[in-house]
Amino acid sequence: MSCGQIILDYGLRSIGIGAQLLPRGEFTLCHQFTLIGSGLIWNVYFAILALAFGFFAATGLALAKSARSRWLRKPAEWFIFVFRGSPLFIQFFLVYEALVMLPRAGFDVFGMTIATAWLTRAWAGALFVLFLNTAAYSAEIFYGALMAVPKGDIEAADAYGMAGWTRFRRVLWPTMLRLAWPSYTNEAIFLFHATTLVFFSGFPSFQQKGDALYYAKFFADKTFNPFVPYPIAAFYFVLLTLSLIGLFGWVNRRLNRHLPGARPRLRIRPQIIR
């Protein structure tokens, strides 16, 4: 079988397009590169959506945590503590078991049936967990940055007669993002890496549609040779991590473009793992 045919067959296998069965007996390099790369679609899907939704939730949570009212502050603090203080792996299991307990047939609300079965699928359930998780981690980063907004900036905003939403949107928020961005880049990278956990935790892979690491393990188990599939997966992840750093670096430059002199460099530190 030619490599082109293999790519046609397995290139989109992870989302159910192409060959029905996974390769059997024949595990060429082309097979491994194609299928593992196909699994990457899921990692990117989880990372992008969780980060996109999580970003806004995190901003809200950071504001709630810095609020003066106890009723806003305490729940935000607890949410952040629970999701940062426990392993993501356990969170996946816990949420999966909780979702499984929902009635199979769905809820009846005023004669309308609200289906629940889809929630136990990885694409929805795992995304939900990753969203909550990244919201908590990012909220802590944003909170720290919010506390570090220079006093002078706020006073200047007050002097211009800005208040409330205007002040937040035009002064607090941009400064907070600018200060938080290097740490937030780390968070994004480690969230992207954490997406590999999805199919190893409670969430079953439906019809063997899995992520990059799922297929890498598939090949390692079939060929008894870990030295090929895992480096391939690692190669893909390094590539995507580098593009992620590039993208976030571009945003970083944009956030800091008004500042003279040296702008904070992005330092990638292993601060966050789940």
Partner 1 sequence: MLESCADPKSLEGLAWTLCYLTTGKQVLFYWSFLTVLTLMAITAPIALGFGFGGALATRAQFAPLRWFGKGYTSMVRGVPDIVFFLFVPVALDQGLEYMRHKVLCSDWTEPVRQGSDFVVCTAAKLPLSSSPQSVHAVYGFVLAVVAFSVVFGAFAANVLAGAMQAVPHAQLETGEAYGMSRRQVSRRILIPQMWVYALPGLSNLWMILIKATPLLFLLGVSDIVYWARELGARKSQIYDFPHPDWRLWYFLALLVFYLAMTKVSEVVLRRVTSRLTRGQATMAGEAMRKARG
At its nearest, how many Å lie between partner 1 and the CB of residue 165?
Answer: 35
Query: Both tokens of residue 89?
Result: 């792996």
Region of 209 please: left (phi>0), alpha (psi -120 to 50) or beta: beta
Q: Is 170 in the site for partner 1 (CB under 8 A)?
A: no
Q: Is 36 in the site for partner 1 (CB under 8 A)?
A: no
> Which residue in 30, 79, 94, 36 sits closest to 233, CA to CA?
36
Q: Is 141 in the site for partner 1 (CB under 8 A)?
A: no
Q: Is 273 in the site for partner 1 (CB under 8 A)?
A: yes
At its nearest, how many Å lie between partner 1 and the CB of residue 271?
Answer: 6
Q: Is 128 in the site for partner 1 (CB under 8 A)?
A: no
Measure the CA–CA gap between 109 and 227, rounded to whole angstroms: 53
Amino acid at 30: C
Among 34, 59, 175, 196, binds partner 1 (CB under 8 A): 196
Measure the CA–CA gap between 224 and 163, rounded to whole angstroms: 64
Tell me the CA distances in angstroms from 177 to 50, 55, 223, 254, one per residue in order. Answer: 18, 11, 47, 11
Tell me the CA distances in angstroms from 147 to 16, 56, 83, 173, one per residue in order. Answer: 47, 18, 21, 12
Among 80, 88, 171, 172, binds partner 1 (CB under 8 A): 88
Q: Is 213 in the site for partner 1 (CB under 8 A)?
A: yes
Binding marks (x or -) toward partner 1, 53..82, rule CB under 8 A?
----------------------------xx
Q: Is 264 in the site for partner 1 (CB under 8 A)?
A: no
Residues that bind partner 1 (CB under 8 A): 25, 27, 81-82, 84-91, 93-94, 97-98, 100-101, 189, 193-194, 196-197, 200, 213, 216-217, 220, 222-227, 230, 233-234, 237-238, 241-242, 268-271, 273-274
